[in-house]
Homo-oligomer: A and B are copies of this chain.
């Protein structure tokens, strides 16, 4: 499990005064990128030179309590399933009060970057995800 501290910024909010729902999924993916980096894997390197990409094929979020501008949030990142050709990442958004404000999940599939066909997850990525 990896914890990514962040803060709700003006751009993340909308005219209803709380976080815009889709911004939460963007924040989740930023936490995932930070988790990969923490394990030594930079998504920029993967996109630049990798043979395998892992696009999101499913995403979901449940909003339990409002997140507001300047709220500090800890996003807990956990790999809850690592399969042959796909994996699932779950996210918990925890406020400073320890209240859980949201859950989110992304499902990724490994594909060949040149033709888009399904591929087996590289061992290095599988091992890295196993530690999340």
Residue A37 at the chain B interface, CB threshold 8 Å: yes
Contacts A57-B62, A58-B61, A60-B60 given: A45-B70 contact, CB under 8 Å?
yes
CB interface residues, A 8-33, toward B, < 8 Å: 8-11, 13-18, 20-23, 25-26, 29-30, 33
A20: chain B residues at CB < 8 Å are 10-11, 26
- What interface size band does chain A fall in? 35 or more
- Copies of the protein in its oligomer: 4
Residue A71 at the chain B interface, CB threshold 8 Å: yes
CB interface residues, A 90-122, toward B, < 8 Å: 106, 116
Contact of A18 among B8, B9, B30, B55 (CB under 8 A): B55
Q: Closest approach, in angstroms, between the C-beta of A108 and any C-beta of chain B?
A: 10
Residue A69 at the chain B interface, CB threshold 8 Å: yes
Q: Closest approach, in angstroms, between the C-beta of A60 and any C-beta of chain B?
A: 4
Interface of A toward B, CB cutoff 8 Å: 7-11, 13-18, 20-23, 25-26, 29-30, 33-34, 37, 42-45, 47-48, 53, 55-63, 66, 68-71, 106, 116
